[in-house]
Amino acid sequence: MSLHPRCRFLPLAVAALALTGCRLEPVDQPASREGAGDGARPEVEYLMSEERRAEGLPFSEAVRVGDLLILSGQIGRDPATRQLVGGGIGPETRQTLENIRATLERYGSSMDRVVKCTAMLADMAEWPAMNEVYTTFFPEHKPARSAFGASGLALGARVEIECWATVG
């Protein structure tokens, strides 16, 4: 009996999984998680400061799942005026990252605990100017990062950045 051409590597894949200690489990049963032998799921908290709650935003400022803090995207709004800072992509990026810093600190984390960022730019041609400011906020460690161009951002922003960080 011979294997279908698309399946010829199946025995090799099964052997590789066995060597790494992985197990195959039925699809209708969730794979067990290390440290969650009792089936417990990590606690989820939807976080919103009173100031942000008063704005009536339709999303959480951050969500904490176990020791992971996931921030909603931030733009370069001045917290005092609630308006975008002027001056273009550089000042907007700086304010965006200051807003991220404040949110991280409010919920028990910091810039040096950021593990992932996603940057959305209204114009990818502004990537070098955004990156010039961005790198000053991560001098020692470099979080994983993705970036893409968007056809429009909230309030006409030039940049929006979301981050994931550890806490605790």
The Cβ of residue 100 has, within 10 Å, a number of other Cβ atoms equal to: 21
Question: What's the confidence (pLDDT) of residue 38?
Answer: 62
pTM for this prediction = 0.74
pLDDT digits (tens, 9 = 90+) for 3-25: 444 444 444 444 333 444 444 44
pLDDT digits (tens, 9 = 90+) for 36-62: 456 678 899 888 788 777 777 778 899
What CATH code is carried by the domain that includes residue 71?
3.30.1330.40
In a domain, 140, yes or no: yes
Q: Which domain holds residue 55?
A: 44-166
pLDDT digits (tens, 9 = 90+) for 68-110: 999 999 999 999 999 999 999 999 999 999 999 999 999 999 9
In a domain, 54, yes or no: yes
In a domain, 139, yes or no: yes
Question: What's the confidence (pLDDT) of residue 56?
Answer: 74
pLDDT digits (tens, 9 = 90+) for 24-34: 444 444 443 44
Considering its fold, how many domains does the chain have in total?
1
In a domain, 6, yes or no: no
In a domain, 9, yes or no: no
Per the prediction, the chain carries an average pLDDT of: 82
Task: Kindly state the DSSP code that residue 128 receives in the 8-state scheme.
Answer: H
Mean pLDDT of 125-146: 96
SS3 70: strand
